A and B are shown apart, each in its own frame.
Chain A
Amino acid sequence: MALTATARDVLEGAFMPLWVRGEVSDFKAHRNGHWYFCLRGEDAQLKCVAWSRERRRIPAPPDDGMQIVALGRLTVYPARGEMQFSVTRMEAEGDGLWRKALEQTRVRLQADGLLDPSRKRALPRYPRRVAVITSRDGAALRDIYAVVQRRCPSVEVVLVPAAVQGDSAPESLCYALDQVARWGDADLVIIGRGGGAREDLWAFNDERVARALATCPVPTISAVGHEIDMSICDLVADLRAPTPSAAAEAAVPVQSELRERLRMSAETLSALASERVGRARTNAADLARGVALGVARRVDRRRLQLESSARRLHAISPLGTLDRGYAIVRTGDGRMVRSVDGLQPGSRVEVVLRDGTAEATVERVMPNDQSTMSPGAVAGAES
Chain B
Amino acid sequence: MTFEASMERLEAIAARLEDDELDLDTALALFEEGVAELRAASAFLAQAETRLKQLNEAADGMFRIDDLRD
CB neighbors of B among A185-215 (8 A): 185, 187
CB neighbors of B among A112-157 (8 A): 124-128, 131, 136, 145, 148-149, 152-157
Query: From residue B16, how far is it (CB to closest CB) to chain A in Å?
Result: 9
How many residues in A have their beta carbons less than 8 Å from beta carbons of B?
Answer: 41
Q: Is B35 a contact of A269 with CB atoms below 8 Å?
A: yes
CA distance A148 to B17 in the complex (A): 35
Contacts of B34 in A (CB 8 A): 269, 273
Q: Is A276 a contact of B52 with CB atoms below 8 Å?
A: no
Q: Is B53 a contact of A125 with CB atoms below 8 Å?
A: no
User: Which chain B residue shows the least CB distance to A133?
Assistant: B55
Q: Is A128 a contact of B2 with CB atoms below 8 Å?
A: yes
A160 located at the interface, meaning its Cβ lies under 8 Å from any Cβ of chain B in the complex: yes
Contact digits for B27-48, partner A, Cβ 8 Å, 1 yes 0 no: 1100100110010011011111
A161 located at the interface, meaning its Cβ lies under 8 Å from any Cβ of chain B in the complex: yes
Contacts of A155 in B (CB 8 A): 50
Query: From residue A271, how far is it (CB to closest CB) to chain B in Å?
Result: 9
Given contacts A155-B50, A262-B38, contact A269 B14 (CB under 8 A): yes
Query: From residue A278, how far is it (CB to closest CB) to chain B in Å?
Result: 11
- Out of B2, B13, B52, B65, which one reaches A187, CB within 8 Å? B2
Given contacts A262-B41, A262-B45, contact A157 B10 (CB under 8 A): no
Contacts of A158 in B (CB 8 A): 53-55, 65
- Out of B11, B54, B61, B63, which one reaches A161, CB within 8 Å? B54
Q: Is A265 a contact of B54 with CB atoms below 8 Å?
A: no
CA distance A185 to B56 in the complex (A): 13
Q: Is A159 a contact of B53 with CB atoms below 8 Å?
A: yes
Q: Is B17 a contact of A272 with CB atoms below 8 Å?
A: yes
- Out of B10, B31, B52, which one reaches A265, CB within 8 Å? B10
Contacts of B4 in A (CB 8 A): 124-128
Contacts of A145 in B (CB 8 A): 50, 52
A298 located at the interface, meaning its Cβ lies under 8 Å from any Cβ of chain B in the complex: no
- Out of A126, A255, A269, which one reaches B2, CB within 8 Å? A126
Closest 5 CB pairs between A and B? A272-B17, A126-B4, A154-B47, A126-B3, A149-B50
- 25 pairs of residues in contact across A and B, judged by CB atoms under 8 Å: A125-B4, A127-B4, A149-B49, A153-B49, A154-B50, A155-B50, A156-B51, A157-B51, A158-B65, A159-B55, A179-B55, A179-B57, A182-B63, A185-B63, A258-B3, A262-B7, A262-B41, A262-B45, A265-B10, A265-B11, A269-B34, A273-B17, A276-B27, A276-B31, A280-B27
